Structure formats: C-alpha cells, structure tokens
Amino acid sequence: MRFRQAYCVRENTAGLIEILPHVTCADRLEPLLEEHCEAPACLEDGRVTCNKTIFASEGSFTSPNHPGNYPTDIDCITRIKVNPGYWIDLTFQSFELEPAPGCIYDYVEVFQDREDGTRTSIARLCGTRKFRSSVVVKGNSASVLFHSDVIVTRRGFVANFSELDP
Ligand SMILES: [Ca+2]
C-alpha cells in the first residue's frame, strides 16, 4: 500500500504561497484568492517522509535523499520551533538546487510563522551556494518549504538551525 499526504495551499494578497492546516482549509473564514490542493509525489518507500516539525533549541535537516539527488515534483515543509523569546538562526552549510532567475523551478523558501497563524516569506533560495548562507528568523517559529518541479534535480541541502538570543 502506498500513502500520500495532501495539503492545501493558497496564494495570499502579497502573492505568497501559504500552506494551510487542514482545519483551516475546511473551516476558513476569509475568502481566498486562489486555493487548490497538491499531493506530493510518493517516495520510494511508499511514504512521504519529508514533512516534519522539530521542537528543539538546535538541530539539522536535509533535503530528501541527501546526499543523493532530491526527487522531482515534491514539496517538503519543515517546521521549526525554538524556545519562546528566541530567534532562529538557520544556516545552509551545503546548498545545490537547480538554478533559475527568480528561483521559479526548485527552491527553498523560509517563512516566519506567527502565533496568529500568519506567515511571512523571508527568503527564497536556489542555485548553488559555495559558502554557508544564513537566514535569521526574528521569531521562535519558522517553516522551511523545499519545492522541486517536474524535471532536473540536484543534491539539495543540509540545514542547521539554532536559537539566537535577540
Ligand atoms: Ca527541478
């Protein structure tokens, strides 16, 4: 048996794609500009293993299948939560994604998540970065969306995060 995990996304008024919790999807109050559901591709073992939530003061995660190439047509959301009152320092120590102007094909997008459920895009990254790249999230909750389109893959990334005393 193969399992798929579906989730809903919408484009907000700023033109950013937001991932909606199922409960919000089913019982939303505000009309949406656009809404559709996407089912990520199944991985080899039949389970989608790339969505996860990490509650820790520090940790690391990688793109799926790293250091092998990531799969095509996949979306992974890694939610990070550190202790209240701290910020998040997110550092990519290895980063190799399909390059594109505007990062329209494959990308990593870092969001700051707020307590009221809103989410702000902080950075969208793609291509190859030879040096460590850091993104600071000025809050204790973040989501990192990794997206790949239907063709061309690379090795992906290794990301480390730690809490930052503002
Ligand atoms: Ca691609």
The pLDDT of residue 154: 95
The pLDDT of residue 33: 42
Question: Residue 72 Cα, ligand 1 centroid: separation in angstroms?
Answer: 6
Question: Residue 138 Cα, ligand 1 centroid: separation in angstroms?
Answer: 30
Question: Residue 110 Cα, ligand 1 centroid: separation in angstroms?
Answer: 18
Regarding predicted confidence, which is higher, 121 or 39? 121
Tell me the average pLDDT across 55-71.
Answer: 92
CATH architecture assigned to 49-164:
Sandwich (2.60)
Question: Residue 46 Cα, ligand 1 centroid: separation in angstroms?
Answer: 21
Going by pLDDT thresholds of 50, 70 and 90, the confidence category of residue 136 is very high
The pLDDT of residue 133: 84
Question: Residue 132 Cα, ligand 1 centroid: separation in angstroms?
Answer: 22
Write down the mean pLDDT value for the chain.
80
Model confidence at 28: pLDDT above 90 = no
Strands (E) in the chain, as ranges, are 7-11, 17-20, 35-38, 52-55, 58-62, 74-81, 87-96, 107-113, 119-125, 128-129, 133-137, 141-148, 156-164
Question: Residue 38 Cα, ligand 1 centroid: separation in angstroms?
Answer: 17
Tell me the average pLDDT across 152-157.
Answer: 95
Closest by CA to 72, choosing from 151, 18, 129, is 151
Tracing tokens 């893959």 back to the chain, one arrives at 153
Model confidence at 40: pLDDT above 80 = no
Question: Residue 105 Cα, ligand 1 centroid: separation in angstroms?
Answer: 5
Question: Residue 98 Cα, ligand 1 centroid: separation in angstroms?
Answer: 6
Contacts with 159 (C-beta within 8 Å, 6 or more apart), sequence order = 60, 61, 62, 78, 90, 91, 92, 93, 108, 144
Going by pLDDT thresholds of 50, 70 and 90, the confidence category of residue 132 is confident
Tell me the average pLDDT across 128-148.
Answer: 92
The pLDDT of residue 89: 97
